[in-house]
Amino acid sequence: MTIKIGILGYGNLGKGVECAIRRNHAYARAAYRFNKEGMNGCKTVFDIPPSYLSILSSEDLTAAIDIKRRI
C-alpha cells in the first residue's frame, strides 16, 4: 500500500516533509486501518483517531487509560 502526498515546492522544507513522512510509521498504520475499514479520501492529522496511530488495540488503550485514572 502506498500513501500519496503532494508537496508544493521542493526546497529544503519539502525535502524535510518527505523525509519525516517516510519515517512516520504511525500514520502508515492509520492509513492501513482506514483502508481495512473501506474508508478513503483526504484526511488531515486531526481526522485520525489516536487509536489508529497506536500499535495497541482500542480495548488495550481504554484499559491503559482506566488504569491511569485509578492511580
Domain assignment present for 19: yes
32 and 55 in contact (C-beta within 8 Å)? no
How many structural domains compose the chain?
A: 1
Residue type at 65 in one-letter notation = I
Q: What is the span of the domain harbouring residue 56?
A: 12-70
Helices (H), 1-71: 12-23, 25-36, 50-53, 58-70
Domain assignment present for 53: yes
Domain assignment present for 4: no
pTM of the model: 0.53
- pLDDT bin (cut points 50, 70, 90) of residue 71 is low
Domain assignment present for 6: no
Domain assignment present for 40: yes
Show Cβ contacts of residue 66 under 8 Å, excluding neighbours closer than 6 positions. none
The per-residue pLDDT for range 8-66, each reduced to its tens digit, is: 666 776 777 677 766 678 888 888 888 888 887 888 878 888 888 888 887 888 887 77
Show Cβ contacts of residue 65 under 8 Å, excluding neighbours closer than 6 positions. none
Lookup: cell for 63: 484499559
